[in-house]
Amino acid sequence: MITTGNDNKPAIRFDLIAQEGEARAGVLTTRRGEIETPVFMPVGTAGTVKGIRFEELESEELDPKIILGNTYHLWLRPGIETIRECGGLHKFIGWQRALLTDSGGFQVWSLGALRKIDEEGTHFRSHVDGSAQFLSPEISMEVQAALGSEIVMAFDECAPGNATHEETLKSMSLTSRWAKRSRTRFDQLQGEGADTGRAVTTNCLSGAQAIFGIVQGASHLSLRRESLAQTVEIGFDGYALGGLSVGEEKPVMFEVIREIAPVMPADRPRYLMGIGTPEDLIDAVAAGIDMFDCVLPTRNGRTGQAFTSSGKLNIKNAQWAKDSRPIDELCNCSVCRRHSRAYLRHLYLSGEMLASILLTHHNLAFFLDTMRAVRQSIRSGVFHKFRREFTERLNANGE
Amino acid sequence: MITTGNDNKPAIRFDLIAQEGEARAGVLTTRRGEIETPVFMPVGTAGTVKGIRFEELESEELDPKIILGNTYHLWLRPGIETIRECGGLHKFIGWQRALLTDSGGFQVWSLGALRKIDEEGTHFRSHVDGSAQFLSPEISMEVQAALGSEIVMAFDECAPGNATHEETLKSMSLTSRWAKRSRTRFDQLQGEGADTGRAVTTNCLSGAQAIFGIVQGASHLSLRRESLAQTVEIGFDGYALGGLSVGEEKPVMFEVIREIAPVMPADRPRYLMGIGTPEDLIDAVAAGIDMFDCVLPTRNGRTGQAFTSSGKLNIKNAQWAKDSRPIDELCNCSVCRRHSRAYLRHLYLSGEMLASILLTHHNLAFFLDTMRAVRQSIRSGVFHKFRREFTERLNANGE
């Protein structure tokens, strides 16, 4: 399989190992090591996966091989000059494993009234200091080169979940033109050696960054197919489904995933952006998705919600006040081995940072463990059985 | 040495190993293991040393053998019924090493206008919900028995640092009467088996709680001596210097420490409450103090201040924006091995929890490492040389 690279070497390799229905298990090889798929990527917005130390992430208990960084946040603060002077994002934050950076497109889009989009790019006001800013495909590529991530995302425009056909077509067409500009500037930057993460040699890989294209089209399947065709036409190392979980109903979202994922290029990784709950992940794997990122385990951990094998658990509930059981009796993470619901509830109600730290840890352990189990089940040909049992357990006792 | 206990066994043992001038190195044995002295106890106010997991505390890098819990905070929230039902403080928080609990006296005193003191005890309003509360020597002993700490502190009254002789005498006399009532109720509770932390057998120890008396007297040396005599007359397993660093000038504080510490019972641990900076600790060790607790490493970590071998460092300063050096180039802690000032500054300015987590870790490592070095230097007979060099380095480059 040929991907972005030089000297006829690809920037990444993607090898499928097993398939069951549409569900796939594979290995994505980057210049920073191998990543078994399907994979969940914890979100490290501003150069930290909130509430957890890298040493904890690297422990066997969690052990994600790749995390996500947000171009928008890092670009605004501490700024690209700082990160470049500190040797790129890996060196700056002290993380030697793989990084995927988003393009900033979605973050800027989320600003709503604070941004204005034209053909050239997006004008917006910084959430940090209110200053006027401008982000374009070219700038996003320059920033991502300075960050030096293993996987760069094309700069896209996102239509709301309930956008009309006409609005969506307009937005999707802009995304396609931006994808082309992203690809062009990305290739220039690779040629110029702007990538701070460049590796001199990495087995059969070029050592360059890889770039993924993003399929848009809201809930309009015909536009999704058109967007996919246009994105594949440009040619990327992997393909993402973007613009989902942005206001549409969940059945609508899954219709898009189930219709589009299976027809995305089979020999490239398929990445579902920003989604979702453990059951969402498993359903999307069943449709053929290989990569995920989501803030749910970290964000919900900070607001007192734990994900467990029997559903969500709100640690604030009075019923846990004297409950000596762990959050999840089937979980073997260090938090569940050591701490009770009563203690975690006390920490949360007392406003103690440790509540966020421990709930974040458990939630990440639950997501990453679930994905390990998903991979194993596909490799063993028992994914559909696993999926059924997982879902039954989840619904047995949830709040 | 005989201390509180039963079956003629003491609750704690204290063995001196080396002495250099007034500085002493020893071993304090509790029912939860041996503690080398001089020792620094991290403060775990509400059942958590803020911002750090117990697994981190237990790692070789930090490794405190004892931490402090606050009776006042835990009594108000989650409340003693909860902690008792969860099997005592050790089980509730998941910490199996030794605990010292303060009496709540100082916390209640700190409430200022919100409290009213009479012979019986202290009336005050809870900082949690504003409810009217009452704390007395007897109640403090009952709460500390329910917590099940290894070392209980007598319930005391604190005079402000600038209190007159008359005010101080009145306050100190009340502390003495409260100390007697504390001792009486403590002994009853031990007999009643109220101590949740009771150990069935611990080598040569009784398995019961130990209790320390507190010397008050503000900056009046004659009253300090009188308070000491009255406290020793009642008889405790250890003796603490309380009511320091409460508004008096530092030279005044050190006059008290240097005059009183050496005449406290030599065969019992001497505990300086709530103090201080690394240089304070070393100066107090030179006066004969064995035990310390202080919120400085944790609290200052959360507000962006790092303690280093060359003085304090404010991580917010613009001069660190692109500085790839660790906080302390002489420190070998996991934070200094991995992260730069530039990254820590970025985390702090971004309001990321990881800033507090990492600075807290480094600060605790610095305090605990310093105390390890202090102990080693006393055992090797080079404490005064160590002290001189430490102080010179500290003043060479501080902010």
Asked whether residue A261 carries a pLDDT value surpassing 90, the answer given is yes
Q: Which residue in A has a C-alpha nearest to residue B320's C-alpha?
A: A82
Report the chain B residue with the minimal C-alpha distance to residue A53.
Answer: B354
Q: How many CA atoms lie within 13 A of B269 on its CB side?
A: 31
For chain A, what percentages of helix, strand and coil (3-state, to nearest 5) are there? 45, 20, 35
Give pLDDT tens digits for A83-110.
999 999 999 999 999 999 999 989 888 8
Q: Which of A315, A308, A284 is nearest to A366 (CA)?
A: A308
- The predicted-structure confidence for B284-332, as pLDDT tens digits, reads as follows 999 999 999 999 999 999 999 999 999 999 999 999 999 999 999 999 9
Which chain B residues are closer than 8 Å to A87 by Cβ?
324
Residue B4 has pLDDT above 70, yes or no: no
Task: List the single residue in B340, B342, B350 with the smallest CB-CB distance to A77.
Answer: B350
Q: Strand B132-135 vs strand B122-125: parallel, antiparallel, or unpaired? A: antiparallel
Q: What are the chain A neighbours of B95 within 8 Å (beta carbons)?
A: none
A75 touches chain B (CB under 8 A): no
Mean pLDDT of the residues in chain A: 95
Q: Is the model's pTM score more than 0.95?
A: yes
pLDDT over 90 at A395, yes or no: no
| CB spacing of B350 vs A85 below 8 angstroms | no
Round to whole Å and give the CA distance between B342 and B325: 8
Decide if A261 contacts A292 (C-beta within 8 A): no
User: Tens digit of pLDDT for each residue in B48-91?
Assistant: 999 999 999 999 999 999 999 999 999 999 999 999 999 999 99
Q: Is the pLDDT confidence value at A113 over 80? A: no
* A339 neighbourhood in chain B, CB within 8 Å: 93-94
**First CA to last CA distance, chain A:** 46
- Between positions 269 and 288 of B, the ones with CB within 8 A of A are none
Do A111 and A125 touch, CB atoms closer than 8 A? yes
| Distance, CA of A96 to CA of A75 (rounded, Å) | 20
B50, B343, B352 member nearest A50 (Cβ): B352
Measured torsion, CA atoms of residues B377, B395, B66, B272, in degrees rounded to the nearest 10:
90
Report residue B154 CA to chain centroid gap. Answer: 14
d(CA B238, CA B271): 8
Q: For A119-149, how does the pLDDT look when each residue is reduced to its tens digit (9 = 90+)?
A: 999 999 998 999 999 999 999 999 999 999 9
Paired with B122 in beta bridges are B117, B135
Is B51 in Cβ contact with A357 (below 8 Å)?
A: yes
* Encoded tokens for B125: 């309003």
Angle subtended at Cα B53 by Cα B47 and Cα B54, rounded to the nearest 5 degrees: 70
Nearest to B322 among A47, A50, A82 (CB): A82
Closest residue on chain A to B84 (Cα): A322
Instruction: Examine the residue annotation and report whether B195 is marked as an active-site residue of this protein.
Output: no
Whether residue A169 has pLDDT greater than 90: yes
Give residue for tokens 């009336």.
B123
Q: Given B156, B195, B280, B293, which residue is catalytic?
A: B293
Interchain contact B213–A (C-beta under 8 A): no
What percent of chain B is helix, strand and coil (3-state, nearest 5)?
45, 20, 35
Task: Report the pLDDT averaged over residues B145-149.
Answer: 98
Contact check, Cβ <8 Å, B82/A321: yes
Residues of A labelled catalytic: 102, 293
pLDDT digits (tens, 9 = 90+) for A373-387: 999 999 999 999 999
Q: The tokens of A77 are what? A: 């603060």
Burial class (CB in 10 A: 0-12, 13-18, 19+), A309: middle
A240 CB-side CA count, 13 A: 29
Q: What is the pLDDT of residue B1?
A: 38
C-alpha distance from B47 to closest chain A C-alpha (Å): 8
Whether B340 and A50 lie within 8 Å, measured CB to CB: no
Does any CB of chain A come closer than 8 Å to the CB of residue B160? no
Q: How far apart (Å, rounded) are the C-alpha atoms in residues B200 and B206?
A: 8
**Nearest CA among B345, B344, B327 for reference residue B336:** B327
B347 chain-A contacts, CB cut-off 8 A: 46-48
Angle at A235 (CA atoms; ends A234, A237), nearest 5 degrees: 150
CB A142 within 8 A of CB A194: yes
Q: A82 to chain B: nearest residue by CA?
A: B322
Surface of A (300-359) touching B: CB under 8 A: 321-322, 324, 334, 338-340, 342-343, 345-347, 349-350, 352-354, 356-358
DSSP run (H or E) holding A23 = strand A23-30
d(CA B147, CA B293) in angstroms, rounded, equals 19
Mutate to test the interface with A, among B343, B352, B359 (most CBs of A within 10 A): B343
Residue B158: both structure tokens together: 């604190």
Q: Is this complex scored with an ipTM above 0.95?
A: yes
